[in-house]
Structure 1
Amino acid sequence: MRSLVADLLQLRLEARNDVRLHKKLYNAIRLSILDGSLPPQSRLPPSRDLATELHLSRNTVLTVYEQLLAEGYVVSRRGSGTFVAQTVPDSLLSAPASATGRPGSAPPPQLSARGQQLLQKSSASPRQWGAFLPGVPDVNAFPHALFRKIQSRISRRPQASQLSYSNAGGSRALQQALVDYLRVTRSVRCSAEQILITEGIHQAIDLVSRMLCNPGDTAWIEEPAYWGIRNVLAMNGVTLQAITVDRAGMQPPEPNDTPPKLIFVTPSHQYPLGCVMSLERRQRLLALARQTGSWIVEDDYDSEFRFSGQPIPSLQGLVDDAPVIYTGTFSKTLYPGLRLGYLVLPRPLMEPLKNAHAELYRGGRLLDQEALAQFIAEGHYTAHIRRMRLLYARRRARLASLIADALGAEALSDYNDNAGLHLVLSLANECDDVALAKAANARGILVRPLSRYYTGATPKKGLLMGYAAMDDGEMEAAFSVLLACLR
């Protein structure tokens, strides 16, 4: 098989007019080393192979290799071959780069105002796995071997339609599997045609806000709320109005002259505080949306993990033809890297949003969707959730016990419901939870400051602590490190 190095050198040989072959080859290799095409420690082809590939005599190649070796451009390792030197002689003869010529000294790129605003408010952690990182499931507990077996079975003879773009909102099999699952577990009322598969919640929110809001339109969000939703809406020019959350969920105000186009809520398990929206508030919100022509966006991100009492039914299923866009994700139930979520669309929005999704994002990954559909249809999904529910309940109880024993029961937020993948550790109002989280992060403890989830001037202080992705032994040791930061 012809090597990439030979292809590179062939092009450079053809581009030069040197009379002597060994000089042409020498210049081609030397310049390739100097411009980085052949990086330090990369291996050159054996002289016999390179001679054959370039239609040169082996003696010509050996002569060039010996000259490059003598000049320090390459090194020879007995039994291994010839390699580009770590430091080439030309770099030793060059003068140090001036301050203005160093990489990174160029003026910063001119980003848009929206882009600058996004980066200023960015909260995505550079580390997405570790002690107390909230919102992350135990990805090691997923039955990977079983899922790979299903994927392998589907991939043996894929249909052409499964290897192309999707303009039907995703795999029909996954859409139907979700209809059956959501009807039983979440009381969601829908047909397969109403389901649109997305690459996670962020893409779903981006699509909804682009298609239903003009720049300057208002969206209600919870106070506090997930920072990711705020950033996606802001990037699409949507004006945010933060609505206070109490023990019963969002407190919807009376509509005014500028009603919201969108109302974002997490009614079954408010993020990040953990409370459940009362039935009275749900009914008020539905009535208000009908009155104002608004769309409610119900984010049901981790409702599967409720550890006591009855499951909380969805807002979408409370009434027929509810003005609700229901969003869900597999990031919390399976693993985030799968990048699969979904929208349950009201019938009037089905066609326009599916068409827009195909235009903007070019849906695909149909083989993964087919595998997930079989995983659900064969009962593996519900079995996995049952196992995780027991596991997370035990880990939640362990973390709550550690907090109560060390800091007192009052350190657990009053809003914490017996559900989800994280707890909120309450802090005094005068505490700087951002600085505390930064100090803990520096010691490998990945908590998040509660105040960063607020838009107002008087946020509650606390730390979000995930417990799903760590065993009991890890938890105690990590909590000791956090206690040292607190004290």
Structure 2
Amino acid sequence: MFLELDGHGPHYSQLTRAMKSAILSGRLAAGARLPPTRVLAEDLGVSRITVLTAYEQLRAEGYIVGRVGSGSYVSTSQADPMPPRRTTPRSIAPLTRYAKRARQLADWSITAKHRDRRLDMQYGRPQVNPTLGAIWGRELAWAATHTKLDCTNIQGLPALREQICDYVARRRGIRTSPDQVLIVGGTQQAVALTSRVLLDEGDEVALEEPHYFSASQQFSAHGASLLAIPTDHEGLVCSALPKQAPRLVMVTPSHQFPAGPALSLSRRQELLSYARETGCWIMEDDYDNELRYDASALPALRSLDGDDRVIYVGTFSRVMFGALRLGYMVLPEALCGDFINAKYLCDRGSPAIEQAALAHFMEYGGFERHLRYVTRELGARRRELIAGLQQHAGDRVQIADSHAGMHVTAWLPNYDHAQVDALIADAHERGLGLYSIAPHYRKPPDVPGLALGYCGLSRAQLQEAMQLFGECLDAVDAAAAQPSAAARRRQA
């Protein structure tokens, strides 16, 4: 405890005044537990009698209370709340160009706008395996006794990097070595490190249109100039890439986010040829490659890369649980040293115990069993969602052709953006959280759409959600059918 004695009078009087000041200013909050007298005496370098005398004085004046067998606490009747700060973060000018750009970004809490709704169809939320909590607890307990606690490995634990090499070879056709794998705190840190290593202010980054809005925010905050490249039913339209190549092209080839199509094999080869001829880098965000339901997976873009131009990014947070915050990058050999340096300057390495637990989980087959469970369950929920859309929305929605992931994209060709905004607001009032696809575009799309996440809701809840969705569409249709006031006057 920090207490500054003023040097006037006996030590117990100085300590009494110092503690009164801390209580009245709010530094010692109402109900806060005070240190034992012996501990405080050692911290301040005074005798225990001094502390006992001060505590007795404060207790007599009503500033603190004693509880038998528990200790001394600040009285709830004496402590004042902490005074307000003189300034708030928004009251001063940005200190750097980075801070200024970050302030100008779109709201980063877009995906949390309906968290208080009973039926929240947030996309990107992992499917929770009910048995995973207990299993993960056992893995953490094992890892805590088998992990060196005195240091971390900047690049990531060798055991986890070896497991990732085996995993991406079997699942994604990527042959690599642990030396080219970097453990990161999820996709967001992977994007941040890529920005630091590859981009200077003004450098161009090509993004799919639509794209993952958090990636565009990250690149914009670093001062990059963004190029929106259109997508179609085959993914990124490579012919639309500029002749003067950007520094980086970011793609989601396995399951275009958020529209849904996979990048065709011919487009993959075209993109790799573009990178080879122009010298640009490609970032492959393979965010949900594990979750495929009724189609076989295409090989990862990185597995086709003969020129070592692809930075491959995978994540465990999406397929296990969001709080895990672990992902990985498979790096071109020429960039490994620079990315490790950037990681060192950022945090000196990801948490070692969680890495050890995950490596053990993967080594003994737990991760693969978990993936099989999640894929079966999500496939069932996806079918429930699509059946509900067809039943309650009918031909008023067009369901994007997609066979993977954690969300379904539903286009609304018969409605304009204002009507869809009204639909979302009405659904919110009824307890249903819907999310527009528009924030993932640099410019709003011609046809409005919704990204409907189904991971966070049970099959019964999805049935209820789709019934509510149909009722909200009916309300929008009814409002559109009513003649305007001007039209009614003309009729009169």
Common fold by TM > 0.5: yes
Structure 2 CA distance for partners of 1:258 and 1:469, relative to 1, 3 Å: same
The Cα shift of 1:140 comes to 4.5
Asked whether 1:65 is paired with 2:59, we answer: yes
Asked whether 1:42 is paired with 2:42, we answer: no
CA contact (8 A) 2:209 2:230 kept: yes
The Cα shift of 1:173 comes to 1.2
Between the aligned partners of 2:80 and 2:369, the Cα distance in structure 1 is: 64
Between the aligned partners of 1:201 and 1:408, the Cα distance in structure 2 is: 36
RMSD after superposition: 3.2
Asked whether 1:150 is paired with 2:139, we answer: yes
The Cα shift of 1:196 comes to 1.1
Asked whether 1:208 is paired with 2:188, we answer: no
Structure 2 CA distance for partners of 1:361 and 1:61, relative to 1, 3 Å: closer
> What is the 5 A alignment of 1:117-196?
117-119=101-103, 120-124=105-109, 125-126=111-112, 131-141=120-130, 143-159=132-148, 163-167=150-154, 169-196=155-182
* Match 1:108 to one of 66, 83, 91: 91
Between the aligned partners of 2:361 and 2:89, the Cα distance in structure 1 is: 51
Structure 2 CA distance for partners of 1:127 and 1:361, relative to 1, 3 Å: farther
For residues 67-98 of structure 1, the C-alpha deviation after alignment (integer angstroms, 9 at most, x for no partner) is x13xxx4568899886544454989xxxxx9x
Q: Residue type of the partner of 1:462?
A: G
Between the aligned partners of 1:20 and 1:349, the Cα distance in structure 2 is: 61
Asked whether 1:426 is paired with 2:404, we answer: no
Structure 2 CA distance for partners of 1:61 and 1:142, relative to 1, 3 Å: closer
The Cα shift of 1:377 comes to 1.4
For residues 312-346 of structure 1, the C-alpha deviation after alignment (integer angstroms, 9 at most, x for no partner) is 22111124344211111111111121111111112
CA contact (8 A) 2:207 2:251 kept: yes
Q: How many residues align?
A: 461
The Cα shift of 1:347 comes to 2.0
Structure 1 SS opposite 2:302: coil
Asked whether 1:447 is paired with 2:434, we answer: yes
Structure 2 CA distance for partners of 1:89 and 1:339, relative to 1, 3 Å: closer
Structure 1 SS opposite 2:207: strand
For residues 31-60 of structure 1, the C-alpha deviation after alignment (integer angstroms, 9 at most, x for no partner) is 221111321233557999999973149677
Between the aligned partners of 1:105 and 1:377, the Cα distance in structure 2 is: 49
> What is the 5 A alignment of 1:10-49?
11-12=3-4, 14-18=5-9, 21=12, 23-24=13-14, 26-43=16-33
Instruction: Provide the residue aligned with 1:94 in structure 2.
Output: none
Structure 2 SS opposite 1:243: strand
Asked whether 1:281 is paired with 2:267, we answer: yes
The Cα shift of 1:267 comes to 0.9
> What is the 5 A alignment of 1:167-316?
167=154, 169-253=155-239, 256=242, 258-316=244-302
CA contact (8 A) 2:176 2:330 kept: yes
Q: TM-score, normalised by structure 2?
A: 0.83
Q: Which moved more, 1:295-304 or 1:456-465?
A: 456-465
Q: Residue type of the partner of 2:8?
A: N
Q: Residue type of the partner of 2:138?
A: K
Instruction: Provide the residue aligned with 2:325 in structure 1.
Output: 339
CA contact (8 A) 2:23 2:79 kept: no
CA contact (8 A) 1:154 1:371 kept: yes
* Match 1:371 to one of 327, 333, 357: 357
Q: Residue type of the partner of 1:394?
A: A
Structure 2 SS opposite 1:133: coil
CA contact (8 A) 1:134 1:447 kept: no
The Cα shift of 1:258 comes to 2.3
CA contact (8 A) 1:269 1:302 kept: yes
Between the aligned partners of 1:181 and 1:267, the Cα distance in structure 2 is: 19
Structure 2 CA distance for partners of 1:40 and 1:423, relative to 1, 3 Å: same
Q: Residue type of the partner of 2:214?
A: G
The answer for unaligned runs of 5 or more in structure 1 is 92-96
Between the aligned partners of 1:74 and 1:336, the Cα distance in structure 2 is: 42
Q: Residue type of the partner of 2:152?
A: Y
Between the aligned partners of 2:300 and 2:288, the Cα distance in structure 1 is: 12
CA contact (8 A) 2:281 2:310 kept: yes
Asked whether 1:54 is paired with 2:76, we answer: no
Q: TM-score, normalised by structure 1?
A: 0.84
Structure 2 CA distance for partners of 1:131 and 1:457, relative to 1, 3 Å: closer
CA contact (8 A) 2:409 2:449 kept: yes
Q: Which moved more, 1:34-43 or 1:280-289?
A: 34-43
Q: Residue type of the partner of 2:447?
A: K
